[in-house]
């Protein structure tokens, strides 16, 4: 009688624990997608995981402040610079852009992508509920769910995309759009850095498939030490 081989354990994913709400549902959804999940802000956990998820609930400026408090901005930046996968959700997507404007006050974001987060020009905000998305050709994140609806809860969004596609040796990001009062960015796929304005962990079977697509794309990575621990 032949013995069945043990299953290969899933990739490791750290959900960045910096004070954002609603992280438990993200943890459970990632576990169902096949990941071994840790909720942590420890630099070792953040840097050495196969994938990092940055959740975000609340105001742009508040999330930036909370991330700074746990050195999250530097840790996210180190992962992206090293080609290590990061998935940001909701306000996690927004802070990757240059600026956020709320109640007339502008706050600096991480500046990974050009653009400003502004109030959606819709009769009713927040934009809360299910909406369709327009997925670009070649998307790996949305493979199999290109025509599905996803669950949004937000009042602000990036309504313009001005990325220099003529930069040498750089593949332009894939940008997915949705609409509420005006078109806004629903997701970005940019090498190791992916982000969604909607909540995949609240988006039923479509969100579960999207998270599984991301988890299954994660390379198994050898640890890279934090620079604060190297000689």
Catalytic residue among 112, 148, 189, 201: 201
pLDDT band of residue 164 (cuts 50, 70, 90) is low
Cα–Cα dist 105/28, whole Å: 35
Residue 230 has pLDDT above 60, yes or no: no
Tell me what the mean pLDDT of segment 191-199 comes to: 98
Tell me what the mean pLDDT of segment 179-204 comes to: 98
Catalytic residue among 66, 102, 199, 227: 199
pLDDT band of residue 196 (cuts 50, 70, 90) is very high
pTM: 0.91
| Catalytic-residue membership of 160 | no
| Catalytic-residue membership of 199 | yes
User: Residue for token digits 């992916």?
Assistant: 194
pLDDT band of residue 7 (cuts 50, 70, 90) is low
The token duo for 206 is 């479509």
Can you list the domains of the chain with their CATH numbers? 12-104+112-220 (3.40.50.880)
């Amino acid at each position: 009688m032949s013995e069945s081989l043990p299953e290969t354990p899933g990739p490791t994913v750290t959900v960045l624990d910096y004070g954002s709400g609603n992280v438990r549902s993200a943890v459970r959804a990632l576990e169902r997608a096949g990941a071994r999940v840790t909720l942590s802000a420890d630099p070792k956990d953040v840097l050495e995981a196969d994938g990092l998820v940055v959740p975000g609930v609340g105001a742009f400026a508040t999330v930036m402040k909370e991330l700074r408090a746990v050195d999250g901005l530097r840790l996210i930046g180190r992962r992206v610079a090293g080609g290590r996968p990061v998935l940001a959700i909701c306000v996690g997507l927004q802070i990757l852009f240059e600026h956020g404007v709320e109640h007339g006050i502008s706050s600096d974001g991480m500046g990974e992508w050009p653009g400003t987060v502004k109030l959606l020009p819709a009769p009713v905000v927040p934009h809360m509920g299910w909406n369709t998305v327009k997925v670009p050709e070649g998307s790996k994140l949305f493979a199999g769910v290109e025509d599905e609806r996803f669950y949004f809860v937000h009042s602000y969004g990036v309504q313009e995309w001005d990325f220099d596609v003529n930069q040498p040796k750089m593949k332009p990001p894939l940008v997915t759009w949705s609409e509420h009062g005006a078109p806004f960015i629903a997701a970005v796929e940019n090498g190791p850095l992916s982000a969604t304005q909607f909540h995949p962990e609240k988006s039923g079977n479509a969100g579960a498939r999207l998270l599984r697509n991301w988890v299954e794309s994660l390379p198994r990575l050898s640890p890279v030490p934090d620079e604060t621990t190297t000689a």
